Structure 1
Amino acid sequence: MGCSSCSTGKDGQPKGCKNNGTCGTDGCNKLTVFDWLSDVELPGGQKAFDCVEVRFKNSRKEFFRNTEQLTLSIGDIVATEASPGHDIGMVTLTGELVRVQMKKKNTDPASKEIPKVYRKASQKDIDVWQAAREREDAMKVKARQIAIRLKLKMKISDIEFQGDASKAVFYYTAEERVDFRQLIKEFAYEFKTRIEMRQIGFRQEAARLGGIGSCGRELCCSTWLTDFRTVKTSAARYQQLSLNPLKLAGQCGKLKCCLNYELDTYLEALKDFPRQDQKLTTQKGDAVCQKIDIFKGKLWYAYEKEYNNWIELDTDAVKEILKAQREKNPVASLEEFTSEIPVEKAEFSNAFGQDSLTRFDKPKRKKPKNKRKSNKHKKSKKNNANS
């Protein structure tokens, strides 16, 4: 968590606003953009950009045109155009950086289809919005019960109310096409509002629900990652990872997004390595690559029909062998290029008795001798001496 009010408490829950990243201070939100042009004044005669960026429920952002010339700043709650009615959101960006964001999202700033900002939200608008959001959790439980009763192969992951509480969007995931005509009828009868069903992917579902990854930290998609790039199994192969689906898959069931984080570095390092599918031709025979170590710059080769005997080579040696191979002057054998470095054994001294297994045990107490038995033994000795 980024802000002080949302910092983690003793039990792992946010000790401040308890909104799991959607606090009013806007410091721990993954969709927040730093406005580094906020203190820079526009040149004389230039008008400010008339579009603003508005965030809704920490999951989506949209662009709106400020036709009323309202004085808006980051953090303002505004009422925006929706179909039907209006929606309530928070302004996340204003000024020239909005133009950059629109270009990044392939949105035309001159388009007439950009919706409008109606006004700054009044207290009544905020009260209706908050009351609608408080209904979402209870509705989610009831909606899942109805879907299970109708035996639909789908999972309702989240519900988002429109700002004026006139419509509710149900986000769901499904592997196949779902006929939810009867489901919408029952939802409309049960919740007394307009219903919209919106299908999302499994990665978007994991971003909405959140969780803890195998690294022990919060999921990247629910904290800072805003776009989902394609992750292929070749990313795991380039990084010499075992193709184990249980280890490579995230909570969404897809390949982990973090497989792409270091992929470019591995691809850059592999440029110095020769092709692994290329055989090394020597006078002793052809050798095939069995394994590589990117960090150490080593390759292991084995002669054909002698796959149990691996020979370690560095990249420079392999390049030299390939050069001789191209010149049709193959080397005698791979063993000529192996460099065996003797491993020095470390000697440990027992200066403080650290290798003793009983150094932490309590010393045993000596048993006191039985005085009666010792006296009897002395008397028997005296009697034997007198006799």
Structure 2
Amino acid sequence: MGCNSCSTGKDGQPKGCKNNGTCGTDGCNKLTVFDWLSNMSLPNGEKPFDIVEVRFKNSRKEFFRNSENLTLSIGDIVATQAQSGHDIGMVTLTGELVRVQMKKKKVRDNAEEIPKLYRKATQKDIDIWQKARDREEEIKKRSREIAIILKLQMKISDVEFQGDGSKATFYYTAEDRVDFRQLIKDMAKAFGIRIEMRQIGYRQEAQRLGGIGSCGRELCCSTWLTDFRSVSTSAARYQQLSLNPQKLAGQCGKLKCCLNYELDLYLEALKDFPSQDTKLFTEKGMAFCQKSDIFKSTLWFSYKDDPSNWHMLSKDQVIEIIGKNKKKEKVTSLEEYAVDNIVEEKVVFENVVGQDSLTRFDKPKRRNNRNKNKKRRNNRKKRQNNA
């Protein structure tokens, strides 16, 4: 849900606020929570909740105690407490809904270790913060070059500066443990800042960087998905998807999280569905299951001696045959049951504008030879006159 000024300009960037997804309304940010309690007033005698949610670069969000009782609203730029110095972030949530978010993320609101919110950011704070943000791409490129020179098996995916510009956090991914002590020394010497290295998973990397999925929409992990459940290839098997890594893998290189979305529905539908290993015994021979369609409740079987010829049976018909086989009774053939499932195909295209065929343009046009014949006649007459 973007703001009204987020129309696209000529260069593909947002035309209005020009903050590229970090606008003050917090309407087009990652993992945004809609404050549905903003229009509700507190009961008499109740004080507003003194903890606010602040978002930093990408999807990193933390909670800070408003000990100074500042009047804050969503979109305010604030200076917050850090391990050393201060950080700059944007307020994304205030009021009672923050308590709900803290309970969801299992953060106690009475904990003393909750950092403080210092003040609203001044123009000087914002200028320093913007200069630090502008250096991130250059430093990320340079740090990757240093890692390649040191032959470290790691990928530096993102750099995040602290609000005061005194510290930078480097997010990286790696298969094995990496000894980056020399890397920290070289980067601290080259950039003149304090360095912190933080390893993240491949799914967290895709969450931070964002992107467009194969469905044409923004990645779920960078917009609304907060917990990463394990995805196995069995989820694709239950949904009868081809085990093609190029189609099943997301931008993170792992199996797509959306494979779990409809898995419970498939598992529920498969409870009363015959198994893929089902064998049917008929007088013409034994038949194996080749394919099943959960939505249409149909299965395709073929004889052992004729695997290329498939017969479509309904779920009830298969259950009926299995019941007879359990009583050691054989049905005559699959063809008797398959005849009942033949459906006449309906013509979808109707000739409403007098067109004969949709493929009428595929036929080659006949050349008009009238002009050629005319020229030949004229040439013959000229030759006869000259003779």
TM-score, normalised to structure 1, is 0.87
Provide the residue aligned with 1:384 in structure 2: none
Return the letter of the residue paired with 2:170.
F
CA distance in 2, matches of 1:277, 1:344: 31
Is 1:261 aligned to residue 261 of structure 2? yes
Native 8 Å contact 1:30 1:225 kept in 2: no
Give 1:178 shift.
0.5
CA distance in 1, matches of 2:208, 2:365: 52
Between 1:235-244 and 1:225-234, the stretch displaced more is: 225-234
Native 8 Å contact 1:22 1:58 kept in 2: no
Provide the residue aligned with 1:232 in structure 2: 232
Flag the 1:227–1:14 CA change in 2: closer, same or farther, 3 A: farther
Secondary structure of the residue aligned to 2:371 is: coil
Is 1:341 aligned to residue 342 of structure 2? yes
Give 1:91 shift.
0.8
Return the letter of the residue paired with 1:251.
Q
Give 1:311 shift.
2.5
Native 8 Å contact 2:159 2:170 kept in 1: yes
Between 1:325-334 and 1:203-212, the stretch displaced more is: 325-334
Give 1:43 shift.
1.6
Give 1:105 shift.
0.7
CA distance in 2, matches of 1:75, 1:172: 29
CA distance in 2, matches of 1:377, 1:305: 78
Return the letter of the residue paired with 2:302.
A
Is 1:366 aligned to residue 371 of structure 2? yes
CA distance in 2, matches of 1:43, 1:37: 13
Flag the 1:9–1:297 CA change in 2: closer, same or farther, 3 A: farther
Max Rg structure? 1
How many residues align structurally? 380
Q: Percent identity?
A: 69
Q: Deviations over 1:70-124 (max 9, x none)?
A: 1111111111111012111111111111111111111112222211111111222
Provide the residue aligned with 2:83 in structure 1: 83
Return the letter of the residue paired with 1:119.
R
Native 8 Å contact 1:283 1:332 kept in 2: yes
Flag the 1:93–1:365 CA change in 2: closer, same or farther, 3 A: farther
Between 1:327-336 and 1:201-210, the stretch displaced more is: 327-336
Provide the residue aligned with 2:183 in structure 1: 183
Secondary structure of the residue aligned to 2:267 is: helix
Return the letter of the residue paired with 1:144.
R
Give 1:254 shift.
0.8
Flag the 1:330–1:12 CA change in 2: closer, same or farther, 3 A: farther
Provide the residue aligned with 1:65 in structure 2: 65
Give 1:45 shift.
1.9
Could you say what the CA RMSD is over the residues aligned between the two structures, in angstroms? Answer: 3.0
Provide the residue aligned with 1:162 in structure 2: 162
CA distance in 2, matches of 1:65, 1:375: 105
Secondary structure of the residue aligned to 1:366 is: helix
CA distance in 1, matches of 2:52, 2:26: 16
CA distance in 1, matches of 2:30, 2:68: 29
Secondary structure of the residue aligned to 2:87 is: strand
CA distance in 1, matches of 2:310, 2:361: 40
Give 1:19 shift.
4.6
Give 1:307 shift.
3.5
CA distance in 2, matches of 1:374, 1:228: 88
Structure 1: gaps spanning 5 or more residues: 381-387
Secondary structure of the residue aligned to 2:208 is: helix
Secondary structure of the residue aligned to 1:53 is: strand
CA distance in 2, matches of 1:283, 1:374: 83
CA distance in 1, matches of 2:310, 2:326: 23
CA distance in 1, matches of 2:95, 2:155: 40
Provide the residue aligned with 2:47 in structure 1: 47
Flag the 1:194–1:280 CA change in 2: closer, same or farther, 3 A: same
Provide the residue aligned with 1:293 in structure 2: 293
